[in-house]
Amino acid sequence: MADLFESEGLVPPFEVPRRSGYAVAWNADTKGYDILVPNGELFYSEHFFSSKVSDRTLEYLQENDTNEWRSANWREMSPEDIGSINFKNIAWKQDWINFYGKRTPLPRLTSWYGDPGKAYTYSGIKSQPNQWNKGLLFLKNAIENSSGVMFNSVLLNWYRDGSDHLSWHSDDEKELGVNPIIASANFGATRDFIVRRKDDISQKISFPLKHGTLLLMRGELQHFWEHSVPKRKNVSSSRFNMTFRRIGIGD
């Protein structure tokens, strides 16, 4: 892999620490950056999905029987309101967590899809898979064809605006295997996805995940690094993230 600092004039939209163990190389075949970090590998493709596919996905994720998705004020709706909406394609749900003894809504909406039996537990919440639909299978196939990696499940996150967020964590649940391979597909508003080393949090990279961006994480990354999607006051529209996963495959 060519060293970042001898790159071919392409400027990635993220910065990696200038120290040994890091490298970034443009991959002309997959039209993205291969990124090597100490104890981990990532792949970043800013415009992996065309704007046509990305725009249609944004609509697909929000289509419902009662609200015009472009103008709906999702932020103002209560968890009960959201629960009563009949979304055509995705079974969105508001999960609740116990935060210092208080029942608190998760600061985003979620949904879990996968092959039969591929249940997943995150934030202490166990989810049984919804059945794959055409739209999700289309995106999954596109990622599989490009990466050569097969996935059997996907976690969807809906960040209604910049106050929805995700705290520091690693995707290191046992069912994801020893070295999980995770593919993150992104639609809607751009949000920063930050990865940092667990043993030295000054080593970090902030990836702007945009409408149509794909980010792959693999290798030992989940053991040595954690990631988050922090709040952003200036973001007023929805962002959707899908992390395609391999449950019970045992990499």
Ligand X SMILES: O=C(O)CCC(=O)C(=O)O
- Positions that interact with ligand X (CB under 6 A): 155, 157, 166, 171, 184, 193, 209, 227, 229, 241, 243
State the Cα angle at 143 between 2 and 147, rounded to 5°. 40
Nearer to ligand X, 62 or 157 (CB): 157
Structural contact between residues 141 and 106, judged by C-beta atoms closer than 8 angstroms: no
* Shortest distance (Å) from residue 104 CB to ligand X: 18
Token couple for 35: 């990124």
How many angstroms separate the CA atoms of 99 and 194, rounded? 23
Nearer residue to ligand X within complex by CB, 60 or 159: 159
- How far is Cα 215 from Cα 211, in angstroms, rounded to an integer? 12
Least distance (Å) from ligand X to the CB of residue 5?
28
Beta pairing, strands 125-127 & 120-122: antiparallel
Closest CB 157 distance from ligand X, rounded Å:
5
Q: Output 155 or 247, the one with its CB closest to ligand X.
A: 155
How far is residue 228's CA from residue 206's CA, in Å, rounded to a whole number? 10
Closest to ligand X by CB, 84 vs 104, is 104
CB closer to ligand X, 211 vs 227: 227
- Contact call for residues 135 and 240 (beta carbons, < 8 A): no
We find the least distance from the C-beta atom of residue 220 to ligand X, in angstroms, to be 17
Residue with CB nearest ligand X? 241
**CB of 184 vs ligand X, minimal distance in Å:** 5
